[in-house]
Chains A and B, each alone.
Chain A
Amino acid sequence: GAVVSQHPSRVICKSGTSVKIECRSLDFQATTMFWYRQFPKQSLMLMATSNEGSKATYEQGVEKDKFLINHASLTLSTLTVTSAHPEDSSFYICSARPRVEREYSYNEQFFGPGTRLTVL
C-alpha cells in the first residue's frame, strides 16, 4: 500500500531556531503534498498545498515566510518552521496524493504519522 513517512517524529527546539520536517512518499510518486497542523483535541487545519516543482500555495492566515515549503522531488516535501516560537508548538501532518491515479482511487491521499514540534 501507499506509505508516507515523516521525519523527525518528535522535535524539541529553542525559541528562535528553525526546524525542518521531511515528508516522503515511500512507494509512490506524489504530484501534490499537503501540510496540516493539528492542535490538541482539535481538527487538522490545512496550511498549504505543495506541488512538485512549483511554489506552495498557502491557506489564508498562514505565513509563507514562516512556514517554508519545498517540494523538491516527486517523493519529498519539506516544511521548515523558521524562527520558531512557543506558539508554533503543534502536531504537523503531511499527506501525499499519488501521481498515477489509476493505481489508486481518484483524489485519494495518504497521511504521514505526524511530527510533534515543541518550542521551548
Chain B
Amino acid sequence: AQSVSQHNHHVILSEAASLELGCNYSYGGTVNLFWYVQYPGQHLQLLLKYFSGDPLVKGIKGFEAEFIKSKFSFNLRKPSVQWSDTAEYFCAVSKTDSWGKLQFGAGTQVVVTP
C-alpha cells in the first residue's frame, strides 16, 4: 500500500539548533514531494516542493529538503531554527498522474524553546 512516513512525531529543540525531519514514502512511479507547515492557529502553508531536477530544493524561511530517490526519502532541514519555527510540519506526496491528490504523513510537532 502507498504510504508516507514521518519518523518523528514530536521534536523539541533550542533556538539556533539544527533541525532535520525525516520523510519516507512508498509509491511506485514518479512522484511530486512537498513539505507543508501549519503554525498554531493558521492554515497549511507550502514550505517547499520537488517535482524534478536538482534533488536539493530550497524553500521559504531558510528550509531545504533533499530528495534521495534510492532511499525514497525527502528529508527537511534547517541549519538554525528560531522560536517562530514552532509549528507542525507535514510531508506530502502526490503521484504525477493523480490531479494533485496529496497523501500526507502523520506530521511532526516541532517546539523551539528560547
Contacts and interface: CB of A to CB of B under 8 A. Distances in A.
Given A93-B43, A93-B44, A107 B51 contact: yes
Given A32-B99, A106-B51, A109-B100, A114 B43 contact: yes
Contacts of B90: 43-44
Interface residues on A, range: 20 to 34
A46 B51 contact: no
B102 A34 contact: yes
A42 B106 contact: yes
Tell me whether chain B's interface is mostly helix, strand or loop, or mixed.
loop
A118 to B, nearest CB: 17
B49 A108 contact: yes
Interface residues of B, number: 21
Interface in A17-39: 32, 34
A43 B32 CA distance: 18
A107 B101 contact: no
Contact of B101 (A34, A106, A112, A113): A34
A46 to B, nearest CB: 6
B72 to A, nearest CB: 18
Interface string A63-103: 00000000000000000000000000000010101000000
24 contacts: A4-B43, A34-B100, A34-B101, A34-B102, A42-B106, A43-B90, A43-B104, A43-B106, A46-B101, A46-B102, A49-B99, A93-B43, A93-B44, A95-B102, A97-B99, A97-B100, A105-B49, A105-B51, A107-B96, A107-B100, A108-B46, A109-B102, A113-B43, A114-B43
Interface of B: 32, 36, 42-46, 49, 51, 90, 94, 96, 99-107
